[in-house]
Amino acid sequence: MGSHRRPKPPSRARIATLGMAAGAVSLLPTQSQAAPKPTVDEVRKEVERLYEEAEAPTEEYNAIREKQKKLQREADRAKDRLARKQQEINELREKIGPLAAAQYRSGGIDPSVQLFLSSDPDDYLGQAEMLDRTSSRQAEALEAMRRKQRELTQEREAAQKQLKALEETRAKAARTKDEVQDRLAKARKLLNSLTAAQRARMEADQERDDAAAGASDSPATYNGPASGRAKVALDFAYAQLGKPYEWGATGPDSYDCSGLVGASWRAAGVSLPRTVKQMYDAGRKVARSDLQPGDIIYWYNDTQHNGMYVGNGKAIHAPRTGKNIEIVPLDSMPFFAASRP
């Protein structure tokens, strides 16, 4: 396995003025010495860098969203438990009412006075026994209600903690989303600074480079050596060729890198975790020399980017914003590891 690791991008991209980066501005600029507009190639390189920097926080966002969904389910269950406990307490309270009334009717008088008032000792003893049973049932009901009240208080405290954790996760997801959107907005701004002719030239250069590297996003059908579930997963992935990359997306119209891998294997009946890191941690590692079609490929490191091996030294992946799902040579990016679902 290779040990290529890309430096972790800064939490917020700080883009130097491209003209200055190119050394195009004198040390003492005047009003008549405005920085020249960046060249098409400079814009392209900077856009690529911004898109790549958006990948790590995209995967972080995916992980936070998964945690948020889990916390939401827990909070919903806690609310259901609270409602049930409250209903049980209400039912106990209703039971205690008639018991208290019965005690008042038969037991509101001191037993010794009641004996004098009773003309029949057997009648008195019967009333005393009923009173004892009523008091006992009422005591049990009160104890049950107190126990339920204690449980309700504990449930409420647990639910409040879960809701607080959910709110914190929502806030973190929003911050991470802003981080990704910040990079994408800067990339769009750079692209919009080009003329139509410059953009056309940049796209043509990109297509030329992709062709030279052996990349293709043209619709195709998988006809490699995979079988069983791996073939089903690759058939699905190939059917997505040409669909756009979109951060945080899991299909069916667009995907991010781990979204495509997860959806492909899900089509084969295999449930994978959501993010690149989670897939790497959960998967059975395989050596590069033992790669089989359908294996998950990790490039750069264990957290940033993945795809699926298709055989013949190539892989299918959802590359980055602005590009479509494509087939590329395995070494078009630094190979890090592989795992088998």
237 with 251: CB under 8 angstroms?
no
For every residue of 253-316, DSSP letters joined together read S-B-HHHHHHHHHHHTT----SSHHHHHHHSEE--GGG--TTPEEEESSSSSEEEEEEETTEEE
**Tens-digit pLDDT string for the chain (341 aa):** 444 444 444 433 333 333 333 333 333 444 445 556 778 888 889 998 998 888 889 999 999 999 999 989 988 888 888 888 888 878 877 877 776 666 555 555 445 555 445 555 565 556 556 556 656 776 777 777 778 788 888 888 888 888 898 899 999 999 999 999 999 999 999 999 999 999 899 888 888 888 888 889 999 999 999 999 999 999 999 999 999 999 899 999 999 999 999 999 999 999 999 999 999 999 999 999 999 999 999 999 999 999 999 999 999 999 999 899 999 999 999 999 999 99
For every residue of 246-269, DSSP letters joined together read -TT-BSSS-B-HHHHHHHHHHHTT
Q: Which domains does the chain have, with CATH numbers?
A: 40-192 (1.10.287.1490), 216-340 (3.90.1720.10)
Q: Is 18 helix (H, G, I), strand (E, B) or coil?
A: helix
Q: Respond yes or no: is residue 230 known to be catalytic.
A: no
Q: Respond yes or no: is residue 257 known to be catalytic.
A: yes
pLDDT at 132: 60
| Catalytic option among 186, 314, 317, 320 | 317
Length of the chain: 341
| Catalytic option among 6, 44, 305, 320 | 305
pLDDT at 18: 33
**pTM, full prediction:** 0.68
| Catalytic option among 54, 257, 318, 338 | 257
Q: Respond yes or no: is residue 148 known to be catalytic.
A: no
State yes or no: cis peptide before 9, omega within 30 of 0: no
